[in-house]
Structure 1
Amino acid sequence: MASHNRFRSTAPRALRDPDALRVRLEAVRTEPAVAPLNDWVEALRGRLGEDESVPWFDPASGGIEARSLLLLEAPGQKSVGAEAALRRTGSGIISADNDDPTAQNCWTLRQEAGLPYELAVHWNIVPWYLGTADRIAAPGRTEIQRAAPFLHEVISMLPALEVVVPMGRKAQAGWAAYQERYAPKVHTLPTWHPSPRVFASRPAARQEILDVLRETAGLLGCA
C-alpha cells in the first residue's frame, strides 16, 4: 500500500497539473499493481488496431490488488490520450483524478464513503472511446457484446475482487450480460452514473451513489 502514497491526491482533478500527470504516466508500466493490466492494454490496442482510445489503468488505483471495481460505460474525452485518433487531449488514464466533472464526482463520493483508492479500480464496460472529437457516444448492444470478452480478461486479472459497482444503465446492462455468461463470484451493487447530468435530473442520485459506496466500503471492512 505504501507505493500508492506517492500518487495520493488531496483534492479532485489532480491530473489537470501537468507534473502530476507526467508522474502518473511514467508509472503506468512500472507500478507493480497496474503493470500487468497496462501490459494487457498495450496488447489490446494492437489487437484492435486502436491507439490511445483505450486508456491506461490508473497507477494510483489498486490495480490487480483491487477488491472493488467501479464500472462505467466507456472512456470519456478526458480519459483519452493526446496521441489518440481525432487528437483528443485527455490524460490517457482511466482515473478518478481526471480533470472532468464525472471524475470529480467519483473522487468526492469515494472520499466521503471512506473507500480507499488502493482498494478500488475504475474501468468501463467498453474499454475504447466511442464518439467523435466533439461528442462522446453511449455504447450500444453491438459494442457491449464486442467488449464482453475483453471485460472477462480484465476480471480474470483481479483475483482479490469482491464487489462490482456498475454505474449507469449501460454499465448495468453490460455487467448483467457478463454475469449471465461468466457467473463471477462477487457482490454486485448497481447505482447511478455519477455525471452532472444525472445529478441535475435526479436529485436523489448523489445520495444513492454515496450509500452504495459506503456499502462497498463496509463489505471490504473499511467502515
Structure 2
Amino acid sequence: MSHDAFRSTAPRALRDPDQLRARLDAVRTDPVVRPLNDWVENLRARLGDGESVPWFDPASAGVGARSLFLLEAPGQKSMGAEAGLRRAGSGIISIDNDDMTAQNCWTLRAEAGLPYQESLHWNVVPWYLGTADRIAAPGKTEIERAAPFLHEVMAMLTSLEVVVPMGRKAQAGWAAYQKRYAPKVHTLPTWHPSPRVFASRPAARQEILEVLQEAAHLLRAA
C-alpha cells in the first residue's frame, strides 16, 4: 500500500477496522517508519514489558519528519488490545486515533496547514504508564529515565527542524532532553490538546493553533 493510501480526510480514521488493519500491516514494512518500529520492537525487549510501547504511524513522515509533536506518554487509545487495558485502541501513536485528543491534533494540524506526511507524533515517555483502568502522568523519575530513549529516536530524525512539546509534562521532558543533548532545532512549546485543557482554558485552542501556524511558517521558510 502506498503512503498516500493512508491519508485521512477526517479525524478518527482508525476507528475503521480495515484502515487500522492496513496501518498495522505496514508498521514493520513501510520504509518511512520501519527503522523507528524496529527500534520499538527492540525497546520492548529491553524493557521486558511486552506491548507497553506503541508503534509509530505509517501515515506520518516517519524518519523523514521535519516537525515532531511530543506529548507526555501513550494514552489508552494508542495501546493495542494485547496490552490488556480496559479501553485499548489502535496500538499506534497517531492523530487518526479514536479519541478527542487525537481529533484535536488532527483538526488543528489541518487548520494550520501542517501536512501529516511531514510530521511525526511521539511521547517524551514512550511506554504506557498506569493500570488497566487508569492512565498515570509521568513523574521526574520517568522523564529522566526516558531521555536516552528519546535521544535514540532523535538520532533517526535527520531532517527534523521543529519540535512542539505539548503540555507541561512534555515540556519538562523535552527540557530534560535539551539539557542533556542540546539538539539544534526550533522549540515551540504549547498546551496539551486534551478536551480537559480546552474546557478549563478557553484560549488554549487558539494558542495551540498559533503555535502550529508558526511551525508551518518555519518549515515553509526553510
TM-score (norm 1): 0.97
User: One-letter code of the match for 1:149?
Assistant: P
User: One-letter code of the match for 1:125?
Assistant: V
Give 3-state SS (helix, strand or coil) of 2:216's partner. Answer: helix
Match of 2:22 in 1: 23
Query: Are the equivalent residues in 1 in contact too, given 2:86–2:133 (CA < 8 A)?
Result: no
User: One-letter code of the match for 1:134?
Assistant: D
Match of 1:81 in 2: 80
Aligned-pair CA distance for 1:85: 4.2
Distance 1:162 1:132 in 2: 35
Comparing 115-124 and 128-137, the one that deviates more: 128-137
Aligned-pair CA distance for 1:51: 1.6
Distance 1:192 1:4 in 2: 30
Give 3-state SS (helix, strand or coil) of 2:145's partner. Answer: helix
Q: Deviations over 1:15-45 (max 9, x none)?
A: 0010000000000011100000000000000
Q: Deviations over 1:45-80 (max 9, x none)?
A: 000002222000000000000000000000000000
Q: How many residues align?
A: 222
Distance 1:88 1:200 in 2: 22
Distance 1:67 1:205 in 2: 24
Query: Are the equivalent residues in 1 in contact too, given 2:76–2:85 (CA < 8 A)?
Result: no
Aligned-pair CA distance for 1:114: 0.3
Match of 1:149 in 2: 148
Match of 2:107 in 1: 108
Instruction: Show the 5 A alignment for 1:157-176.
Output: 157-176=156-175
User: One-letter code of the match for 2:201?
Assistant: R
Aligned-pair CA distance for 1:3: 3.6
User: One-letter code of the match for 2:23?
Assistant: R
Structure 1 residue ranges (4+ consecutive) displaced by more than 2 angstroms after TM superposition: 85-89
Aligned-pair CA distance for 1:13: 0.3
User: One-letter code of the match for 1:155?
Assistant: M
Query: Are the equivalent residues in 2 in contact too, given 1:38–1:57 (CA < 8 A)?
Result: yes
Match of 1:7 in 2: 6
Aligned-pair CA distance for 1:4: 2.3
Instruction: Show the 5 A alignment for 1:141-220.
Output: 141-220=140-219
Match of 2:117 in 1: 118
Match of 2:128 in 1: 129
Query: Are the equivalent residues in 1 in contact too, given 2:54–2:127 (CA < 8 A)?
Result: yes
Query: Are the equivalent residues in 2 in contact too, given 1:139–1:170 (CA < 8 A)?
Result: yes
TM-score (norm 2): 0.97
Distance 1:87 1:203 in 2: 30
Query: Are the equivalent residues in 2 in contact too, given 1:81–1:88 (CA < 8 A)?
Result: no
Among all aligned residue pairs of Structure 1 and Structure 2, give the percentage whose two residues are the same amino acid: 81
Distance 1:216 1:33 in 2: 22
Query: Are the equivalent residues in 2 in contact too, given 1:51–1:85 (CA < 8 A)?
Result: no
Give 3-state SS (helix, strand or coil) of 1:71's partner. Answer: strand
Distance 2:6 2:186 in 1: 28
User: One-letter code of the match for 1:107?
Assistant: W
User: One-letter code of the match for 2:150?
Assistant: L
Distance 1:4 1:70 in 2: 20
